[in-house]
Amino acid sequence: MESERKFVTGSDIPVKGVYTPEDVKDIDYAKDIGLPGEPPFVRGIYPTMYRGKLWTIRHGTGFDTCTETNKRLKYELAMGQTGLSIFTDMVSNAGIDCDDPRVEADVGRGGVYLDSLRDWEECLDGIPMDKVSSFIIATCNNTCPATAMYFATAEKQGVPLDKVDGTSQNEMLVYYVCSHLCDPLLPHVALRLNIDCIEWCVKNAPKWHPVAFDSYNYREGGLLAWQELGLLMAHVTTYTDELLRRGNLGIDEFAPYFSYNTGTHNDFFEEIAKFRAARRMLYKLTKEKYNAKNPKSWQFRFHTQSCGHTHTHQEPLNNIVRIAYQTLAAALGGAQSIHANAYDEASCLPTEESLLVAIRTQQITQYETKVCNVADPLGGSYYVEWLTSQIEEKAWEYWQEIEKHGGMVKALESGWLHREFANAMWERQRKIEDRETLVVGVNCFESPESQYEIPVFEANLEAGKIAKARLERLRHERDNSAVEAALKEVAEATESGENVMPSVMKAVKAYATQGEICNVWRKLYGIWEYPLRI
Amino acid sequence: MRQVKSAVKEMSKGDRRIKCVVAIPGIDGHWTAAYVVSHALRDMGAEVVYLGNGMPEEIVQTAIEEDADLIGLSFHSGTHVVYSQELINLLRAKKAGSIKIVVGGTIPSQDIRKLKEIGISEVFPAGSTLQQITTYVRKHCG
CA distance A411 to chain B (A): 17
- Cα angle for residues B104, A263, A119 (degrees, 5° grid): 75
Partner residue facing B29 (CB), from A181, A429, A433:
A181
Of A91, A103, A313, the CB nearest to B126: A313
Instruction: Give one DSSP letter per residue of A165-213, joined into a string.
Output: -EEE----HHHHHHS--SSPPPHHHHHHHHHHHHHHHHHH-TTEE-EEE
Shortest distance, CA A240 to any CA of chain B (angstroms): 28
ipTM: 0.90
Shortest distance between the Cα of A309 and any Cα of chain B, in A, equals: 9
Would the CB atoms of A429 and B130 count as touching at under 8 Å?
A: yes
Distance of CA A15 to the CA centre of its chain: 30
Chain-chain contact of A421 with B32 (C-beta, under 8 angstroms): yes
Q: Which residues of B touch A534 (CB under 8 A)?
A: 35, 38-39, 42, 48, 50
Q: What share of chain B is helix, strand, coil (3-state, %, to 5)?
A: 50, 20, 30
Residues 6+ away with beta carbon under 8 Å from A98: A91, A104, A107, A113, A115, A464, A467, A468, A471, A515
- Amino acid symbol at A244: L
* Cross-chain Cβ contact B27/A175 below 8 Å: no
Cβ-Cβ contacts under 8 Å for B82 (sequence gap 6 or more): A105, A461
What pLDDT, on a 0 to 100 scale, did the predictor assign at position B16? 77
Among candidate residues A386, A421, A447, the one with its CA nearest the CA of residue A180: A421
In this complex, the residue of B30, B52, B77 whose CB is nearest that of residue A532 is B52
Cβ–Cβ below 8 Å for A348 and B108: yes
Answer whether A181's CB lies under 8 Å from A175's CB. Answer: yes
pLDDT at B142: 74
Q: Are the Cβ atoms of A534 and B76 closer than 8 angstroms?
A: no
Contact A124, A117 (CB under 8 A): no
Sheet containing B100-105: which strands, arranged edge to edge?
A: B47-54, B19-25, B70-75, B100-105, B122-125
Q: What is the rounded distance in angstroms from the CA atom of residue B5 to the CA atom of residue A135?
A: 45
Instruction: Quote the CA–CA distance of A451 and A294 in Å, as a whole number.
Output: 56
| pLDDT per position as a tens digit, A6-41 | 899 999 999 999 999 999 999 999 999 999 999 999
Q: Mutate one of B73, B77, B111 to test the A interface: name it (highest A CB count within 10 A).
A: B77
Closest CA to A527 of A196, A187, A192: A187
Nearest residue to A456 (alpha-carbon basis) of B72, B125, B3, B100:
B125
Q: How many residues does chain B have?
A: 142
Q: Cα distance from B94 to chain A (closest Cα, Å)?
A: 21
Q: How far is CA A397 from CA A219, A285, A354, A391, in A?
A: 17, 14, 40, 10
Q: Which residues of B touch A346 (CB under 8 A)?
A: 106, 125-127
Residue A179 is nearest to which of B30, B109, B129, comparing CB atoms? B30
A534 closest CB neighbour out of B35, B79, B127: B35
Which residues of chain A have a CB within 8 Å of the CB of B111? Answer: 456
Task: Determine whether the interchain pair A106/B31 forms a contact, defined as Cβ–Cβ distance below 8 Å.
Answer: no
pLDDT at site A2: 57
> HSE on the CB side for A29, CA within 13 Å?
7
Q: What is the distance between the alpha carbons of residues A16 and B119, in angstroms, rounded to a whole number? A: 53
Query: Residue B2: which residues within 8 A CB-CB, separation 6 or more?
Result: A434
Whether B82 and A312 lie within 8 Å, measured CB to CB: no
For position A284, what pLDDT does the model report? 98
Closest residue in chain B to residue A222, using alpha carbons only: B32
Judge residue A403's burial from the number of C-beta atoms within 10 Å of its C-beta, 0-12 exposed, 13-18 middle, 19 or more buried. middle
Residues 22..81 of B with a Cβ closer than 8 Å to A: which?
Answer: 24-33, 35-36, 38-39, 42, 48, 50, 52-53, 55, 76-79
> Is the distance from CB of A463 to CB of A113 less than 8 angstroms?
yes
DSSP A220-283: HHT--HHHHHHHHHHHHHHHHHHHHHHTSS-HHHHGGGEEEEEEE-S-HHHHHHHHHHHHHHHH
Q: Is A477 exposed, middle or buried (0-12, 13-18, 19+ CB in 10 A)?
A: exposed
Chain B residues closer than 8 Å to A347 by CB: 106-109, 125-126
* Burial zone of A125 (CB within 10 Å; 0-12 exposed, 13-18 middle, 19+ buried): middle
Instruction: Give the per-residue pLDDT at A469.
Output: 97
Tell me the one-letter amino acid at B116. Answer: K
In a 3-state reduction of DSSP, which class is residue A531? coil
Q: What gap in Å lies between CA A447 and CA A19, rounded to an integer? A: 37
What is the pLDDT at residue A317? 96
Q: Say whether B44 sits in a helix, a strand or coil.
A: helix
Bridge partners, residue A88, by sequence? A112
Task: Tell me the three state secondary structure of residue B105.
Answer: strand
pLDDT, mean of each 10-residue run, chain A (534 residues)? 78 97 98 98 98 97 96 98 96 95 94 97 97 91 96 97 97 92 95 98 98 96 97 98 98 98 98 98 98 98 97 96 98 98 95 97 98 98 98 98 97 95 95 96 91 91 96 98 98 98 98 98 96 72
Q: In chain B, what residues touch A313 (CB-CB under 8 Å)?
A: 109, 125-127
Distance between CA atoms of residues A297 and A227, nearest Å: 23
Judged on CB neighbours under 10 Å (0-12, 13-18, 19+), A186 is: middle
Q: Could you tell me the mean pLDDT of each successive run of 10 residues in chain B, 142 residues long?
A: 50 70 95 94 95 96 97 95 97 96 95 96 95 95 81
Question: Residue B108's closest chain A neighbor by CA?
Answer: A347
**Chain B: residue whose CA lies nearest to A346:** B106
